[in-house]
Structure 1
Amino acid sequence: MDLATLTGFLDSELRIGEIADYSGAVNGLQLENSGEVPRLIAAVDASLPVIEAAAAGGPGLLLVHHGMFWQGAQPVRGAFYRKLKTAMDAGLAIYSAHLPLDVHPEWGNNVLLARAIGLQSPEPFLDWKGRPMGLRGAWEGTRGQLVEATAAAVGGSVHLCPGGREHISNVGLVTGGAGSEVAAAAASGIDAFITGEGPHWSYPLAEELGLNVLYAGHYATETFGVKALAQELSQRFGLPWEFVDRPTGL
């Protein structure tokens, strides 16, 4: 498959040029190859171990949520040099989509997590630079049942801040590291806020504000999107795909 065709499709469908993001995200094609893509690899992070694992299979397109440039401009040496050399020697192209993938209405981390926990009638939640970061919707049950549903969805443990009421009727979620948004989440009137991780101060603040917060893991809440994206490309363009799992536990 032609790399330009794949990346053109991704750029358009994910609205790469329209959705604002952090400067280090550098969304889109971060590293090209010779132009041919025989296979797809999905992963959360473009870390050296992930790139080494992906490159072991030869040429392909690595789809990631967190790209290679989060630390900004840096000398091409050490681990950064090895990442580039390993990928280029193997003919591995790298494409990254951060917030554009989080918020996508079909393949996004937010919508897929919302679906997995049974969130009803989801609607946009928590604006950032004029666009919603997450989703909110109806969910009926106890706090413990919500923890169980979230843990089942992410396939791991969930750390609970039981700051709000026991019965839950509405939930907001933002995948990844949105724990610093607890004040805005509480002000929206939800009973529980699900995110990946947050700073230490977000827990006592949530208690003070009367908000339940479920920290379900930054990595764990962001495996959904890259898998869905690779599966969509596989079905659309007839390419095999695999997922490189490199959990951080955070």
Structure 2
Amino acid sequence: MAKAKLADIVAHCNRTLKPDSFEDWPGAVNGLQVENRGSVSRIAAAVDATPATVKKAADEGADLLIVHHGLFWGKTHPWTGNRYKLLRLLLDNNIAVYSSHLPLDAHPRLGNNTGLCRALGIRSPKPFFIERGQA
């Protein structure tokens, strides 16, 4: 199976989604959250980085999991108990995690908001609410 460099995929995601241009919620981390050994042959995607989604990614042979809601939110927590098990599952299966929250919500072509407008048949959407400096 062909492999790509994790660094190249992360660079592409960062160029496309521009995570550094967003002020996200306190404690939210956009971008690469966990790295793997450096190469990717299969990518999985999920809304949340949970033990269930990581296990499914591992079962499918993915070595990169791209998620909307990543591992880091709000205050920091120790990596014990279920959080330790989640991290162990990622490391044991060589799965990297890339998260994009507000950058994905707001992306004009790939974003969740754009997809909803398309699904609802809205042809010329316009922002109506600004949150954290973003429409």
Q: TM-score scaled to structure 1, two decimals? A: 0.51
The alignment yields a C-alpha RMSD, in angstroms, of 1.1
- 2:34 matches 1:44: no
- 2:60 matches 1:57: yes
CA distance in 2, matches of 1:71, 1:90: 27
Which of 91, 97, 107 aligns to 2:94? It is 91
**Alignment match, 2:71:** 68
Shift of 1:99: 0.4
Which of 121, 128, 132 aligns to 1:129? It is 132
CA distance in 2, matches of 1:3, 1:127: 33
- 2:92 matches 1:116: no
Matches within 5 A, 1:228-239: none
Question: Which secondary structure does the structure 2 equivalent of 1:65 belong to?
Answer: strand
Deviations 1:50-102 (A, max 9, x none): 11111223351100000011253111111100111001110100000000000
CA distance in 1, matches of 2:123, 2:24: 28
Listed as ranges, the gaps of 5+ residues in structure 1 are 133-250
Letter in 2 for 1:116: A
Matches within 5 A, 1:109-188: 109-132=112-135
Listed as ranges, the gaps of 5+ residues in structure 2 are none
Percent of residue pairs identical? 45
CA distance in 1, matches of 2:36, 2:77: 22
Q: Which has the higher contact order (CA 8 A, sep 6+)?
A: 2
CA distance in 2, matches of 1:62, 1:125: 32
- Contact in 1 for aligned 2:24/2:102 (Cα 8 Å): yes
Shift of 1:19: 1.1
Question: Which secondary structure does the structure 1 equivalent of 2:66 belong to?
Answer: strand
Higher strand share: 1
For the pair shown, which has the larger CA radius of gyration, 1 or 2?
A: 1
